[in-house]
């Protein structure tokens, strides 16, 4: 019987994602604050993927400089991830449009219709995160050009539902726009699996932290290489009266002290020494600057080691292009194996 070559199969499976991103591979880079800057972003785009600048808390002036610096390092497409709660969101969108950034990713909360319209009216494609099917449909009605559905296996701030469940809930029902799957993905085999389920591509973050071009501190990278999937755990909330948005990170002294801090603050509240607002702020401010301390300064005990559960499959420091090639080779090998199984059957 005739079989389709793995390369042709892969081209067909992620054609929609490649066309949307304008890349060789439908591999979208997750935006990681302090890590996803000009060096890693340009290296991923030059390697055939789609790099994304993590704007985070940058001012419009800083973002302007970062986009300029990235564009000087690559002539390939790249995007910018903006936090919807940023007080200067409109100005940040305008900066992206002034630089003709083709893709704006709105993250960190549900974007409002005006923000989506502002980006689209300026000529950019808008990518949004959809945590449920109902919200996915709403975002499409508001004008989102593509969606990312990210499961709880991801690093950083996470929702409660696993990637595999979200994919089953959402992919069969969304056909109007490309959908990228994220959370816990580190191998090309998994990329193929989600493509075959109907995804247009995948988003990976943790896998790229240990790229040679990543400016993450050597100690931060070594912590990733040593870690197993079970070391990347969500932060613990001790009292429902004081909600904590779960963050998945490698366990260290800081994560253990965070639980003690919560306990001390809640005890102070119970004794009447703090009102609820002050107590909540004290808990939330615990992590202020913690990610920078780990990524930039290399303080891997007092800093925050945000990582997805795929960290257990990060084994070495490699060039970004080599990581991408490895993912593609794994995807092709998976497809070839499926082909052999069909022929044998």
Asked if residue 139 has pLDDT above 70, the reply is yes
Segment 26-59, tens digit of pLDDT: 999 999 999 999 999 999 999 999 999 999 999 9
Q: How many domains does the chain have?
A: 2
Q: Quick one: 329 and 260 in the same domain?
A: no
Q: Tell me how many degrees the CA angle 224-21-57 measures, rounded to the nearest 5.
A: 55
Q: Quick one: 243 and 195 in the same domain?
A: no
Q: Quick one: 96 and 239 in the same domain?
A: no
Residue with more model confidence, 214 or 344: 214
Residue matched to tokens 């799957």:
181
Q: Quick one: 134 and 162 in the same domain?
A: yes
Beta strand ranges found along 103-231 (DSSP E): 103-107, 125-129, 146-150, 156-157, 179-182, 201-204
| pTM of structure | 0.94
Residue 321: exposed, middle, or buried by beta-carbon count in 10 A (0-12, 13-18, 19+)?
middle
Q: Quick one: 58 and 139 in the same domain?
A: yes
Residue 345 DSSP code: -
Closest CA to 231 of 169, 292, 310, 326: 310
Backbone angles phi, psi at 162, to 5 degrees: -70, 150
**Encoding tokens for residue 96?**
């992206």
**pLDDT category of residue 284 using cuts at 50, 70 and 90:** confident
What pLDDT score was predicted for residue 172? 98
Q: Is residue 345 part of a domain?
A: no
Q: At what angle do helices 89-98 and 113-121 cross, to 10 degrees?
A: 20
Instruction: Supply the mean pLDDT for the chain.
Output: 95
Asked if 171 and 201 touch (Cβ cutoff 8 Å), the reply is: no
What pLDDT score was predicted for residue 302? 93
Alpha helices in 178-273 (DSSP H): 188-197, 218-226, 253-270
Which residues lie closer than 8 Å to 305 by C-beta, 6 or more apart?
A: 220, 223, 224, 249, 250, 252, 294
Closest CA to 10 of 40, 36, 48, 41: 48
Q: Quick one: 247 and 128 in the same domain?
A: no
**pLDDT category of residue 345 using cuts at 50, 70 and 90:** low
Q: Is residue 158 part of a domain?
A: yes
- Among 71-85, 238-252, 276-290, the range scoring the smallest mean pLDDT is 276-290
Q: Is residue 71 part of a domain?
A: yes
Asked if residue 283 has pLDDT above 80, the reply is yes
Q: Is residue 1 part of a domain?
A: no
Q: Quick one: 157 and 263 in the same domain?
A: no
**pLDDT category of residue 243 using cuts at 50, 70 and 90:** confident
Q: Within its chain, how far is the Cα of 196 from the centroid?
A: 21
Largest CA distance in the chain: 77
Residue 2: exposed, middle, or buried by beta-carbon count in 10 A (0-12, 13-18, 19+)?
exposed
Q: Is residue 344 part of a domain?
A: no
d(CA 293, CA 341): 49
Q: Quick one: 92 and 115 in the same domain?
A: yes
Asked if 214 and 208 touch (Cβ cutoff 8 Å), the reply is: yes
d(CA 223, CA 228): 10
Q: Quick one: 169 and 299 in the same domain?
A: no
Q: Is residue 13 part of a domain?
A: yes
Segment 158-205, tens digit of pLDDT: 999 999 999 999 999 999 999 999 999 999 999 999 999 999 999 999
Q: Is residue 182 part of a domain?
A: yes
Segment 142-163, tens digit of pLDDT: 999 999 999 999 999 999 999 9
Query: Could you tell me the residue range of the domain that residue 272 belongs to?
Result: 228-306
Asked if residue 104 has pLDDT above 80, the reply is yes
**Encoding tokens for residue 68?**
């300029």
CATH number at residue 108: 3.20.20.70
DSSP element (H, E) containing 322: helix 320-344
- Among 74-83, 124-133, 140-149, 282-291, the range scoring the smallest mean pLDDT is 282-291
Q: Quick one: 155 and 293 in the same domain?
A: no
3-state class (DSSP) for residue 28: strand
Asked if residue 3 has pLDDT above 80, the reply is no
Q: Is residue 92 part of a domain?
A: yes
Q: Quick one: 287 and 318 in the same domain?
A: no
What pLDDT score was predicted for residue 272? 94
What pLDDT score was predicted for residue 45? 98
Q: Quick one: 107 and 243 in the same domain?
A: no
22-58 burial, b for 16+ CB within 10 Å, e for fewer?
ebebbbbbbbbbbbbbbbbbbbbbbbbbbbbbbbbeb
d(CA 28, CA 197): 18
């Amino acid at each position: 019987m005739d079989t389709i070559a793995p390369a042709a199969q892969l081209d067909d499976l992620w054609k929609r994602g490649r066309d949307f991103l304008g890349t060789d591979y439908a591999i979208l880079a997750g935006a990681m604050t302090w890590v996803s800057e000009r060096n890693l972003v340009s290296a991923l785009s030059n390697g055939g993927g789609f790099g994304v600048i993590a704007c985070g808390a940058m001012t419009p002036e800083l973002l302007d400089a970062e986009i300029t610096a990235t564009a000087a390092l690559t002539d390939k497409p790249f995007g910018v991830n903006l936090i919807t709660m940023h007080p200067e969101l409109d100005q940040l969108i305008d900066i992206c449009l002034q630089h003709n950034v083709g893709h704006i990713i709105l993250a960190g909360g549900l974007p409002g219709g005006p923000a989506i319209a502002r980006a689209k009216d300026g000529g950019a494609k808008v990518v949004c995160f959809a945590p449920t099917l109902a919200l996915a449909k709403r975002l499409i009605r508001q004008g989102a050009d593509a969606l990312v559905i990210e499961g709880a296996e991801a690093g950083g701030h996470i929702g409660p539902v696993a990637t595999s469940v979200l994919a089953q809930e959402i992919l069969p029902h969304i056909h109007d726009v490309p959908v990228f799957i994220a959370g816990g993905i580190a191998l090309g085999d998994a990329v193929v699996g989600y493509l075959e389920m109907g995804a247009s591509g995948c988003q990976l973050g943790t896998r790229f932290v240990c790229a040679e071009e990543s400016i993450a501190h050597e100690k931060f990278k070594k912590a990733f290489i040593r870690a197993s999937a079970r070391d990347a755990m969500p932060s613990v909330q001790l009292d429902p009266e004081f909600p904590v948005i779960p963050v998945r990170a490698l366990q260290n002294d800081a994560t253990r002290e965070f639980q003690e801090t919560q306990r001390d603050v809640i005890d102070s509240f119970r004794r009447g020494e703090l009102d609820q607002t002050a107590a909540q702020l004290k808990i939330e401010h615990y992590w202020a600057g913690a990610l920078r301390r780990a990524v930039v300064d290399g303080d891997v005990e007092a800093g925050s080691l945000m990582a997805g559960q795929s960290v257990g499959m990060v084994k070495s420091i490699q060039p970004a292009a080599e990581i991408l090639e490895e993912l593609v080779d794994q995807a092709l090998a998976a497809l070839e194996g499926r082909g052999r199984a069909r022929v044998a059957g």
